[in-house]
């Protein structure tokens, strides 16, 4: 369907604060959104999702649209992020992933030996395999009616590789890391395959209507500086470059890109030069230190400890004020240092969002 590739006539954007901050332009207030803002902490999310299998939900554009919009009905967030999952990419490569209650995402047949790489699709038609995400983005972009920009996303190669080998979550990632030490060539083959698919997938998201892109290197913290340099950073760089050149080729908008490499403060200087307009930060680094390492030409995003939202509302306000004083209100997008947790009180999320707007406006005036 050609409409997926060139959807025209999207509603005019009314609040572009997030995009302006991402591009380093001046903003009246600091924009704010939350990772996992569409999630189980919202009772309406639990209701919508109740009867549905998780990945069946991901494959339903209507449900993804509804779940993406839910937090925006409650909170004056400055961006929406499409409801999906990073593991749709391994699925597109032909792997089976199921959501096991109480355990999380589980691969029925994880990669065990190098030979298993041959079972993966070597050429992926992203529209055929992931067209449901593109449809969800187009539908959501229309349904947002221009209220705020829509962010698309993907997992980064190392993070996806670690899931594909571990078969699910892991505290040590020892199976996946053992590949890096025992099978470096095969690891690079897998990472290259992933990077190529991810680049096409992200370009497809922009064609479908995504106005910004975030790459999640959620498992960066399991690597040390050397392994990150060898097995994560080159692919993070390549993806930014490939996406940008393909967007130009296809005459698509050059949207801002965000890299979020959790627990990789040892790599902030490199990430600042990896080709992304925004570097996302977890909560384990001081704002001033991050700013010193990243420099003036890249926007920062983050980095309130998600658990701060368990604090009383007044305390949340104080922590936000301190965070804004640390980062400065410009070239900055407020967010948490990781996603929202399912047992969080929605009112406290609201307090966070409102505190960012109120304190940043106040700081900008004075």
Catalytic positions, written as ranges: 36, 40, 49, 85, 163
Query: What's the rounded Cα separation, in Å, for the pair 133 and 152?
Result: 9
**What are the residues facing 205 on neighbouring strands?**
none
| Strands across the sheet containing 278-280 | 80-81, 150-155, 212-217, 257-261, 278-280, 299-304, 332-336
Which tokens sit at 221? 């913290």
Q: Which residue has the tokens 């047992």?
A: 343
Query: What's the rounded Cα separation, in Å, for the pair 267 and 246?
Result: 26
Q: Which residue has the tokens 């369907």?
A: 1
Q: How many residues does the chain have?
A: 366
Beta strands in the chain (DSSP E): 80-81, 97-100, 104-107, 150-155, 212-217, 257-261, 278-280, 299-304, 332-336
Query: What's the rounded Cα separation, in Å, for the pair 79 and 209?
Result: 14
Collapsing DSSP to helix, strand or coil, 365 comes out as helix
């Amino acid at each position: 369907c050609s409409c997926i590739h060139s959807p025209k006539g999207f509603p005019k954007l009314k609040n572009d604060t997030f995009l302006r901050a991402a591009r380093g332009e001046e903003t009246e207030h600091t924009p704010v959104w939350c990772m996992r803002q569409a999630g189980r902490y919202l009772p309406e999310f639990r209701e919508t999702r109740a009867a549905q299998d998780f990945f069946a939900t991901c494959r339903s554009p209507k449900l993804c649209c509804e779940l993406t919009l839910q937090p925006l009905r409650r909170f004056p967030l400055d961006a929406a992020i499409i409801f999906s999952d990073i593991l749709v990419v391994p699925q597109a490569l032909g792997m089976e992933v199921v959501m096991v209650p109480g355990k999380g995402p589980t691969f029925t047949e994880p990669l065990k030996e190098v030979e298993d790489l041959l079972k993966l699709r070597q050429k992926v038609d992203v529209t055929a395999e992931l067209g449901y995400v593109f449809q969800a983005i187009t539908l959501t972009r229309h349904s947002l009616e221009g209220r705020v920009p829509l962010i698309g996303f993907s997992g980064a190669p190392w993070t996806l590789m670690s899931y594909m080998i571990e078969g699910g979550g892991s505290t040590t990632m020892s199976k996946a890391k053992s590949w890096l030490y025992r099978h470096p060539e095969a690891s690079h083959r897998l990472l290259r395959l992933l990077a190529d698919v991810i680049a096409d997938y992200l370009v497809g998201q922009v064609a479908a209507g995504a106005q910004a892109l975030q790459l999640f290197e959620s498992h960066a913290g399991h690597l040390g500086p050397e392994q990150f340099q060898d097995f994560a950073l080159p692919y993070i760089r390549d993806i930014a470059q490939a996406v940008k050149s393909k967007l130009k080729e296809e005459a698509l908008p050059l949207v801002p890109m965000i890299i979020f490499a959790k627990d990789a403060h040892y790599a902030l200087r490199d990430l600042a030069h990896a080709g992304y307009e925004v570097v996302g930060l977890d909560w384990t680094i001081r704002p001033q230190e991050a700013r010193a390492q990243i420099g003036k030409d890249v926007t920062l995003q983050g980095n309130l400890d998600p658990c701060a939202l368990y604090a009383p509302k007044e305390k949340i306000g104080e922590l936000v004020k301190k965070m804004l004083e640390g980062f400065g209100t410009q070239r900055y997008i407020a967010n948490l240092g990781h996603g929202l947790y399912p047992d969080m009180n929605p009112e406290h999320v609201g307090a966070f969002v409102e505190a960012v707007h109120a304190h940043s406006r106040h700081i900008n005036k004075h």
